[in-house]
Chain A
Amino acid sequence: MSISRRDFIKYTSVAALGTGVLGCHHEMNVSKSAGIMMPKSGKRIVVLGGGWGGATAAKYIKQEDPSIDVVIVEREDNFISCHVSNWVIGGFKTMKDITISYDALIKNYGIKVVHAEAKELDAEKKQLKTDKGILEYDLILVSPGISYRYETIAGLNSAEAIKRFPAAMKAGPETVMIAERLAAMKSGGSVLVAVPPTPYRCPPGPYERVSLIANYLKKNKPGSKLFVFDSNDDVVSKGKLFKAAWKDYYSDIIEYVPDNYIKSVDVGTGKVVSEKGEITPDVANIIPAMKANQTAFDLGLMSKEKDLWVRAEPYTFESYKYKDVYVVGDATHNGAVGGVPKSGYVANSMAKVAASAMARKLNGQEPLVPTYVNTCYSLVNEDEGIFVSAVYKYDEASKRIKKISGGVSPTMNALFGRHAQDWATSIWSDMLL
């Protein structure tokens, strides 16, 4: 890769910023001529994405072998948890509760965090190009999460429309937008939540959100209605449990319409046209269909032309496209890895498998037989929780992940609600502390 004068200045300014940009206390060298940041000396694994998959992988690689240099590339300053972000929308948690810094990973494990935007991958040279410079690696793990397919809904693919109809399936400004709009709405108003077609991130996520918005309306905005337009023919996850809660608590608030996808939106009037009818809600949360994060496409990780998710083999999570490039989390292709939900717990499990396989590979060892777990807790109001949980193994015959044991909570109750809170604390600590 050659380097322009403009890039040269950019890289130099990284060096000048020093600790600020890298979020860590070491002096970082920037080799100016090659545009290479922090030239590699020993074994190095670059981790693209400091979300559930990436943060877990970085920590577990270091636990496996502290001598490996681990560098996380993450565009955001802090980790913001998607899980519990529905509780912010529901009005009983704040963004502060779900924002966690990367400081402990840096301090406790010597992980380096580069806040930069990954742009291109040179799998031959083993280099990741970012807007702050080039990083060399021996192995790279990519856990970039999801992107929305705005283009599947007419009228939605513009900055203005996205603001009018936010999705908020990545926790952040859109989460706050929805919470604020609900708070500002008059009593007797109408809210729309549109559920995307599967596969999408966090199967129970939209339904937990529906429950908690209904709970909020019940307490704060009497007479309001919540319309749920579901692209799927039924509630995708924990259906019986969610529907029981809606019937018991929110029967006069929630209007659930299955098999009803969104056709178009009008940013001017706020009108939403669905297959079964039109509505102009006061507050709209439209979750479009999803695909692997655009970054996965930009890095060239798709092995087939029309693929929307990255194919990786689930024994180590090495991608089918490139050797030494591993992919975990929501971005993975269900057909290739097997039928696991796109959840944070699964991303955390996959990352541990990949971390172990990668560290062992750099030390000339064979990977261990993998194992995986999933759990998704959801709240149906401030107190009561429900969950789904499963244990998976690697199936030799199909070369895919297969369920061994699984089930859902028999009912909703306050103890499961407590467990839901504790689960969040546990898994955050497992990723970031």
Chain B
Amino acid sequence: MINGKLLFFMAIVAAVLYVPATSFAEASVSEGKRLGKTCAGCHGTAGNTPGEYIGKIGGQNPTYMTKALTEFADGKRAKSVEMSIVSKGYTQEQLKSIAMYYSTQKWVNSTNNINMAKAEAGKAIAMDNGCMDCHGANGEGMDEYPRIGGQNKGYLYEVMKRYKSGDIKSDEMELITELNDAQLDKLANYLSGIR
């Protein structure tokens, strides 16, 4: 009886705590949708970017995406010229909402053409370097680790070159400085081809 009461009480507490949290997240998502709909001109509807050199953002992790957007706005990723200009048009709070909105969209794997021989070689490089230890077995990512499996090929190649050159700074990605461009190309074929 007492147990039942306690459980009931806890359920109420949980509900009280839970409800505002959801509505906050929902408010953030709908705000992000209002603000982020215009990104689709470059990124495709719902962030399902059909091309090769612009990254997919629909279904990307919100933690990583918020970090990336903040760094674009702060000028820390100056080589991403378009994104540096665009993200300066929003407040930090707005960027977070936009990232929340795109993270709720469905991830749709890339349809870029993959060179199978390169992809095979890329897989071996990924295994040797423990890439998937952080990024997940299928490159699905989580929290601060971006989703990289099924991402667009050209985008992957270009962004890896930026981690390598130090244009984007990341301690976790240090190991990429050991790889040459041909290896990065193979990795891009492998990662984009995970479908």
Residue positions of A touching B, CB distance < 8 A: 59-60, 345, 348-349, 352, 356, 368-369, 371-373, 375, 387, 389-393, 404-407, 409-410, 415-416, 418-419, 421-423, 425-427, 429-430, 433
Q: In the docked arrangement, what's the CA distance between A430 and B58, Å?
A: 13
CB-contact partner of B54 in A348, A405, A419, A430, under 8 A: A419
B interface residue numbers (CB < 8 A to A): 34-35, 37-45, 48-54, 81-82, 84-86, 88-90, 154, 158
- In the complex, what residue of chain B is closest to A355 when comparing beta carbons? B37
Q: How far is the CB of B126 from chain A (nearest CB, A)?
A: 24
Subset of 23 A-B contacts with CB under 8 Å? A59-B45, A352-B37, A356-B34, A371-B34, A371-B35, A371-B37, A375-B42, A391-B85, A391-B86, A391-B89, A392-B89, A416-B81, A418-B52, A419-B42, A419-B82, A421-B53, A423-B41, A423-B42, A426-B42, A427-B40, A427-B41, A429-B45, A430-B40
Contact, CB under 8 Å: B158 / A415: yes
From B41, B52, B84, B89, give the contact of A404 (CB < 8 A). Answer: B89
Instruction: Identify which of A406, A410, A418, A433 contacts B81 (C-beta below 8 A).
Output: A410
Complex interface: chain A residues within 8 A of B50 (CB): 422, 425-426, 429
Distance of A60 Cα from B37 Cα, bound (Å): 10
Let me know if B85 and A423 touch, CB within 8 A: no
Minimum CB–CB distance from A356 to chain B (whole Å) comes to: 8
> Between A and B, how many residue pairs show CB distances below 8 Å?
99
**Residues of B contacting A423 with CB < 8 Å?**
41-42, 51, 54
| Cβ distance A330 to chain B, nearest Cβ, rounded Å | 16
Residues of chain A contacted by B54 (CB below 8 angstroms): 419, 422-423, 426
Contact A426/B35 with A389-B86, A421-B51 known, Cβ cut-off 8 Å: no
CA distance A365 to B35 in the complex (A): 18
In the assembled complex, which residues on chain B have CB atoms less than 8 Å from the CB atom of A419? 42, 53-54, 82
Taking CB atoms, residues of chain A closer than 8 Å to B43 are 426
Contact B41 A426, beta carbon cutoff 8 Å: yes
B81 A409 Cβ-Cβ under 8 A: yes
Contact between A418 and B53 (Cβ–Cβ < 8 Å)? yes
A421 and B38 CA atoms in complex are apart in Å by 18
A352 cross-chain contacts in B, Cβ below 8 A: 37-38
Query: Nearest-CB distance from B46 to chain A (Å)?
Result: 9
| Residues of the B chain whose Cβ atoms lie less than 8 Å from the Cβ of A393 | 89
> Once the chains bind, are A390 and B34 in contact (CB under 8 Å)?
no
Residue from A369, A415, A426 within 8 A of B49 (CB atoms): A426
Question: Quick check: B158 and A375 within 8 Å, CB to CB?
Answer: no
What CA separation (Å) do A429 and B44 show in the bound complex?
6
A373-B51 contact given A426-B43, A427-B41, CB 8 Å threshold = no
Chain B residue with minimal CB distance to A428?
B50
The distance in angstroms between the C-alpha atoms of A107 and B183, with both chains bound, is 43
A371 CB contacts on chain B under 8 angstroms? 34-35, 37-38
- B82 neighbours in A (Cβ, 8 Å): 375, 387, 389, 419
Q: Which residues of A contact B37 (CB under 8 A)?
A: 60, 352, 371
Name the CB-closest residue of B to A344. Answer: B41
Residue contact A405 to B53, C-beta cutoff 8 Å? no
Does A422 contact B53, Cβ atoms closer than 8 Å? yes
The residue of chain B having its C-beta at the shortest distance from the C-beta of A343 within the complex is B41
**Contact, CB under 8 Å: B40 / A389:** no
Contacts of B48 in A (CB 8 A): 429
A407 in contact with B85 (CB, 8 Å)? yes
Identify which of A373, A405, A422 contacts B39 (C-beta below 8 A): A373
